[in-house]
Structure 1
Amino acid sequence: MNTYLQVHDLWNVVDNNTEPALLRANPTMAQIRQHNEECAKKHKAMACLQNDGSDVIFTRIMACDSPKQAWKKLKEEFMGSDKTRQQQLINFRRDFENLKMRELETIKQYPDKIMAIVNNIRLIGDDLSDSRVVEKVITTLSENFE
């Protein structure tokens, strides 16, 4: 959704929640058109947030007054609170550290399993370097792949 709003030049409205500046005295037609477009962005962003989800999502954000408020509610709903995300991060990091290749796993299955955990860690917002991931794969391969 973030990318979708960025593509349509609406992310700044969601992120900053700013109102466009008032028109100066004796504005030109171009300035009036530009001002009207800027005023409409807030409503376009709300429409994107409300229409691109399911009915359940719509009912959760329909009472929100601004795109920023709706985004915050959606983020909380789908990503959880900071405390929840922190606990998820701890769990994913533990899974990552404890992961070892099983004897019956193929060389394709094991990195896929690692990348699933790494992607979850990155989705939460924590950075896990590529070099650390490669190191994990190399150090935890089973003996027959050494």
Structure 2
Amino acid sequence: MDSDIPFASLAPLVFISNNYHVSAARMEAYLEINDLWEAIEEEYVVPELQVNQTLAQIKNRKEKKTRKSKVRATLIVDVSTVIFIRIMTIKSTFKFWNFLKEEYEGNEKIKGIQVLNSIRKFEMVKMKDSEIVKEYSNILLTIVNKVRLLGIEFPNSRLVQKVFVTVSKRFEAIISSLENTKDLSKVSLVEILRAF
């Protein structure tokens, strides 16, 4: 673990059971930045100290043990007391993570319903007259990223189309200018936001 960032310097966010995909993505990123994700991905056993081990073997064992302990501590801190009570006897970080996944991710049917609800919400949302384009695009991006976290492809072109079609009438001049100067099939959301 040659990380330049101290373990405690980046505080993880609390696991939110009703928003599993976002919480899991944040926890995974946190564990990766702290060089701890491998302790969850790989179900390895820290070997017992043997007689006549080399210094490198002793150091490797200590690093693996420390990594597993840090992951377990992180996961314990991240979950609510209610969840912790249910899983406090699980010693394996791999099993701990899989418990959270199995318990809160939901099966394919639930994920399918979540995707449909998110897409419906995407289709129904309209820009309010009081909103600026950046605020509106953030609302849309939140919905789109939730769909993507559920494993569904969502093309950026569809997001750009939505902004063009539903943006407030007060921005029609900017939209007309973009339509006349850009190839709308290739324009990105960033380019649209720069125009506003």
Give TM-score scaled by structure 2 length: 0.60
Q: d(CA) in 2 for partners of 1:9 and 1:17?
A: 16
Partner of 2:19: none
Q: Superposition pairs for residues 74-89 of structure 1, below 5 Å?
A: 74-89=100-115
Partner of 2:87: 61
1:16–1:83 Cα change, 3 Å: farther
Residue among 138, 141, 144 paired with 1:115: 141
Q: d(CA) in 2 for partners of 1:68 and 1:79?
A: 16
Residue among 110, 131, 154 paired with 1:106: 131
Q: Superposition pairs for residues 9-28 of structure 1, below 5 Å?
A: 9-20=35-46, 26-28=52-54
Unaligned runs of at least 5 residues, structure 1: none
Give TM-score scaled by structure 1 length: 0.77
Partner of 2:59: 33
1:64–1:82 Cα change, 3 Å: farther
1:112–1:51 Cα change, 3 Å: closer
Partner of 2:153: 127
Structure 1 residue 7 corresponds to structure 2 residue 33: yes
CA RMSD of aligned residues (A): 2.8
Q: d(CA) in 2 for partners of 1:47 and 1:19?
A: 17
1:105-143 CA distance string (max 9 Å, x none): 534353233223223223333332323211211123344
Q: Which amino acid aligns with 1:49?
A: L
1:107–1:8 Cα change, 3 Å: closer
Note the C-alpha offset of 1:14: 0.6
Q: d(CA) in 1 for partners of 2:138 and 2:29?
A: 25
Partner of 1:96: 122
Q: Which amino acid aligns with 2:41?
A: D
1:71-102 CA distance string (max 9 Å, x none): 12223444333321221011111222344445
Unaligned runs of at least 5 residues, structure 2: 1-26, 173-196
Q: Superposition pairs for residues 47-58 of structure 1, below 5 Å?
A: 47-58=73-84
Secondary structure at 1:17 match in 2: coil
Identity value in percent:
39
Q: d(CA) in 2 for partners of 1:115 and 1:96?
A: 9
